[in-house]
Amino acid sequence: MDNVTESPQPVKSTKTDAPEQRMSIATLHHEASLSEIAERSMLDRLESMENAPLIFRRRAELIESLYITALRRTRPEDWVLFRSPSGAVTGLLCASGADLVAEVYGIVVLDIRPRDDQSMFRPERIDYKSGAYALRGSCDCFSRVNGRMVQGLEFARRSDEDFTGRGVDADEKIETRKAEKVGALDTDLRASVLTGLRTKSVRVLCGMTRVPTADLERAWNGQQKALDDCRKGHGFGTSTDRGAQRVAEEGVGERAIKLGDEILRRVNGDVEAARGLLKDITASPSRPKKGGGVTKEFPGFTSVSQFTKEWQVSNAETALASHPVFGDAAREPGGEG
């Protein structure tokens, strides 16, 4: 009996012993082993290449050269500049510039979808409670030059976006007046989705989602191209302000900036007080016209970027000098300021 051993007790099955879970664990181990083998194989190959550092350095140099060459082909009108709250300025590549960059990188856009039974592009429609809607499409894309690829890239455009300057009125007629437009022209919206897919593909594949202005300046060095000629977006005032800057008389912008700095100095750096003072010195009440009627009351500017005429700046400078609280007399020794 001393040589007799007890039979081992059967092990009770647990939840982790279920066939599907055992298969899952085995699969995970298998995939981990494959990853480890692949990583070790790649490292072994790199270690065996005496010129590996040189190859990688040369590749990085070629990619940087490609990036600068592509930027150099673009023009100021191909970019919209945005200023962040911290003051950093970056450029967003537009469709016109994306076409130029795509040629350098060898961008290919494939399988634009969805399509109808006749293989025509029919973007998905997404309706909103406001009555507006969006059209959305997707595609695959890759670069023949840098080897990058993206699958399932999406782009959508809303019907209430003002992206072409025209739309449709309540009778579905083409309309360009903003007050009369009720939505986008469907063909424009659909074409815009296609353009958006192409442009977004270039931005993503070429690392140009947001381009620092320093890169643009470096690429444009020696060319007759300047950041001042780029279009301006968020961070550069309202759309009304930006429109005023484009039609302002020569030299008005510089004088307006100096006026704004002087206003800010007189209110001791208080931005809200400066805005209020600017409105005070540029506002004008309604007045009788010589031929009858009255002029419309003007509430005043809220930004110095709204000045477009030299006489506007001159009148504001005079009004500031004679202002009862912040004027020249009030700031003289013995004055009120």
- What's the pLDDT band for 305 if we cut at 50, 70, 90? confident
- What's the pLDDT band for 336 if we cut at 50, 70, 90? very low
Least Cα distance to 102 among 130, 74, 139 occurs for: 74
Is it the case that residue 138 has pLDDT exceeding 80?
yes
- What's the pLDDT band for 175 if we cut at 50, 70, 90? low
Angle at 257 between CA 256 and CA 259, to 5 degrees: 65
Phi, psi of 72 (to 5 degrees): -65, -30
Which 3 state secondary structure label does DSSP give 280?
A: helix
CA 300 to chain centre: 31
Per-residue pLDDT at 164: 55
DSSP codes, 176-239: --TTT--B--HHHHHHHHHHHHHHHHHHHHTT-SSEEHHHHHHHTTTSS--GGGSEE-TTS--H
- Distance between CA 160 and CA 132 in Å, rounded? 6
Is it the case that residue 301 has pLDDT exceeding 70?
yes
- Distance between CA 307 and CA 253 in Å, rounded? 7
Is it the case that residue 5 has pLDDT exceeding 80?
no
DSSP codes, 224-258: S--GGGSEE-TTS--HHHHHHHHHPPTTHHHHHHH
Name the one residue in this structure whose structure tokens are 């004008």.
284
Region of poorest pLDDT, from 8-17, 74-83, 212-221: 8-17
- Distance between CA 313 and CA 245 in Å, rounded? 14
Is it the case that residue 14 has pLDDT exceeding 50?
no
What share of the chain in percent tops pLDDT 70? Answer: 69
Burial of residue 140, with CB atoms counted within 10 A of its CB: 0-12 exposed, 13-18 middle, 19 or more buried: middle
Higher pLDDT, 301 or 185: 301
Strand pairing category for 231-232 and 79-83: parallel
Instruction: Note the pLDDT tens digit of each residue in 117-132.
Output: 888 899 999 998 888 8
Cβ contacts of 190-195, under 8 Å, gap ≥ 24: 190/121, 190/123, 190/135, 192/157, 192/163, 192/164, 193/123, 193/135, 193/136, 193/137, 193/155, 193/156, 193/157, 194/112, 194/121, 194/137, 195/95
Element (H, E) at 3: none
- Distance between CA 197 and CA 141 in Å, rounded? 9
- Signed CA dihedral, 136, 142, 145, 148: sign only: positive
Least Cα distance to 306 among 251, 217, 238 occurs for: 238
Per-residue pLDDT at 212: 94
Instruction: Note the pLDDT tens digit of each residue in 52-88.
Output: 677 778 888 888 999 999 999 999 999 999 988 888 8
DSSP code for 161 = -
What stretches of 51-185 show up as alpha helix (H) in DSSP?
52-73, 95-105
Name the one residue in this structure whose structure tokens are 């780029």.
230
Which token pair is 299?
């509430």
Per-residue pLDDT at 7: 44
Q: Cis (ω within 30 of 0) for the bond into 324?
A: no
Which token pair is 46?
């790199």
